[in-house]
């Protein structure tokens, strides 16, 4: 199975990135996580994305706040899918990160999840890899089925609470 490469612009992004890591671990998806910056370590970030395919990666996640250029910088140097994970913070409370990540120029796409959307970044990365991995597709389906069952149980509890209130 291909790996997911997770790059974050700062170690302060780890609480959000940890949610992606947790999902990938739950789904048994191999990954690497690194701190690299599009601005402070641009050569390292570029080299990582340039060599990602040959190093066994199938998808990259770029997590960054404020200027949030990391996902775009990664996408500029690879043809692998790149998922942008904008991080809340700064004067615009993450809106700058979201817009900088989602508004990529023509020809350099970045799939973008919500501000602080670490879980969805991990799930989307797994879904991309699952295109060619039947076992992973099965784990993703089982996860969705379990989530649906939890929701049905919550609804049943709500219905019982409402019925009890009428008594």
Pairing mode, strands 31-35 and 82-87: unpaired
Q: Is 40 among the annotated ligand-binding positions?
A: yes
13 annotated among ligand-binding-site residues: yes
Instruction: List Cβ neighbours of 1 (8 Å cut-off, separation of 6 or more).
Output: 29, 30, 58, 129, 133, 136
Query: Half-sphere exposure of residue 44, counting CA atoms within 13 Å on the CB side?
Result: 10
49 is in an annotated binding site: no
| Strands in the chain per DSSP E | 3-8, 31-35, 57-65, 82-87, 111-112
Q: How far apart are CA 10 and CA 21, in angstroms?
A: 16
Residues 6+ apart with CB under 8 A from 155: none
Q: Which residues are annotated as a binding site for substrate?
A: 10, 13, 40
Q: Which residues are annotated as a binding site?
A: 10, 13, 40
């Amino acid at each position: 199975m291909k790996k997911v490469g997770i790059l974050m612009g700062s170690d302060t992004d780890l609480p959000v990135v940890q949610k992606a890591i947790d999902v990938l671990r739950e789904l048994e998806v191999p990954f690497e996580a690194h701190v690299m910056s599009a601005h402070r370590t641009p050569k390292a970030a570029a080299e990582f994305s340039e060599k990602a395919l040959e190093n066994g990666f199938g998808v990259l996640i770029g997590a960054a706040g404020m200027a949030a250029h990391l996902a775009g910088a990664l996408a500029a140097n690879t043809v692998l899918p790149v998922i942008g994970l904008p991080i809340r913070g700064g004067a615009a409370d993450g809106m700058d990160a979201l817009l900088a990540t989602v508004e990529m120029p023509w020809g350099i796409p970045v799939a973008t999840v919500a501000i602080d959307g670490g879980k969805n970044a991990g799930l989307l990365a797994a879904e991309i890899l699952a295109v060619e991995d039947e076992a992973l597709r099965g784990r993703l389906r089982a996860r969705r089925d379990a989530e649906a069952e939890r929701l049905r149980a919550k609804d049943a509890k709500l219905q019982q609470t409402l019925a009890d209130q009428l008594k």
